[in-house]
Amino acid sequence: MNDRAPALDAPLILDPLQASARAIDPVQVEAAIVGRRSVRAFLPTPVPRALIERLLRVAARAPSGTNTQPWKVYVLQGRARDALCDQVCAAHDAIRAQPALAAEYQEAYDYYPSQWVSPYIDRRRENGWGLYGLLGIGKGDKDKMHAQHQRNFRFFDAPVGLMVTIDTVMGRGSLVDTGMFLQNLMVAARAHGLDTCPQAAWNHYARIILPHIGASEQEMLVCGMALGYADPQALVNRFVTPREPLERFVRWVE
């Protein structure tokens, strides 16, 4: 855990004017942003409900078009979490045994492109083989690949699983808004010594997830997220993805 994380009993400031008037340590803010990464092995250490609520309240200060605040969050712990994991893992295994079943599990929106092109496919491959290479999973190790992918559906053993939805009536902009909410949540979690892993892998199993969490038929699953304390001894947590240099994605227009 992060010994420098803010105390849970520290005052929570939700007034933007009051917050902006306070002195801010830019190094600490930057550390929380840069320190956010996708953790794939967690300790069983419980996360206090009061801390989860605090993080969600802070995250809800995310901007949204005309203040629509389209996100809805379902927090899964204990038996509810475990039961969902069991159901989705069973479906994941069934699809492997009978690939035609995949047609029954479709995501509500295209998270990835239908046709990959450079440079995005190159980065995707670098990410995939970098992770699998660290874990000693070779290109033909289908059993190990399946097992590692299924770790998603155990929330990588995190004690807290989150499911985030929006109403289907909302437009694509609400996905942008929800993405900013998710980023707020992940950075706030890091500031408190917690780690996360946002997971689009769950999206294919919305037909199982939405009834389980009590979501309405008018809701669409945006993604899942693992939340907890990272296991510092886990090999997989040594994996850190690179970032492109500024000159590759920034153009100065003067």
221: domain CATH number? Answer: 3.40.109.10
Q: Grade residue 13 by pLDDT with cuts at 50, 70 and 90.
A: confident
Look at the chain and report how many structural domains it folds into: 1
pLDDT of residue 61: 97
Q: Is residue 244 part of a domain?
A: no
- pLDDT at 3 exceeding the cut of 60: no
192-210 mean pLDDT: 98
- pLDDT at 91 exceeding the cut of 80: yes
34-55 mean pLDDT: 98
Q: Is residue 165 part of a domain?
A: yes
- The secondary element (H helix, E strand) that includes residue 33 is helix 26-35
Q: Is residue 4 part of a domain?
A: no
Q: Is residue 211 part of a domain?
A: yes
- pLDDT at 143 exceeding the cut of 70: yes
pLDDT of residue 4: 55
The tokens for 62 are: 């995310």
Q: Please state, in angstroms and rounded to a whole number, the distance separating the CA atoms of residues 144 and 140.
A: 9
User: What is the crossing angle of helices 206-213 and 78-97, to 10°?
Assistant: 160
Query: Considering only 15-19, 47-51, 116-120, 199-203, which range has the smallest mean pLDDT?
Result: 15-19
Using an 8 Å Cβ cutoff, are 63 and 177 in contact? yes
Using an 8 Å Cβ cutoff, are 73 and 56 in contact? yes
Q: Is residue 135 part of a domain?
A: no
Q: Is residue 245 part of a domain?
A: no
The tokens for 23 are: 């002195």
Q: Grade residue 23 by pLDDT with cuts at 50, 70 and 90.
A: confident
pLDDT of residue 9: 79
Tell me the pTM.
0.94
Q: Is residue 25 part of a domain?
A: no
Q: Which residues contact 44 (CB under 8 A, 6 or more apart)?
A: 157, 159
Burial of 203 (0-12, 13-18, 19+ CB in 10 A): buried
**116: phi then psi, degrees, rounded to nearest 5:** -85, 145
The position carrying tokens 């996708």 is 38
78-82 mean pLDDT: 98
pLDDT of residue 163: 98
Average pLDDT, the chain: 95
Q: Is residue 171 part of a domain?
A: yes
pLDDT digits (tens, 9 = 90+) for 148-190: 999 999 999 999 999 999 999 999 999 999 999 999 999 999 9
pLDDT of residue 5: 67
- Domain extent, residue 107, equals 32-111+152-235
pLDDT of residue 21: 87
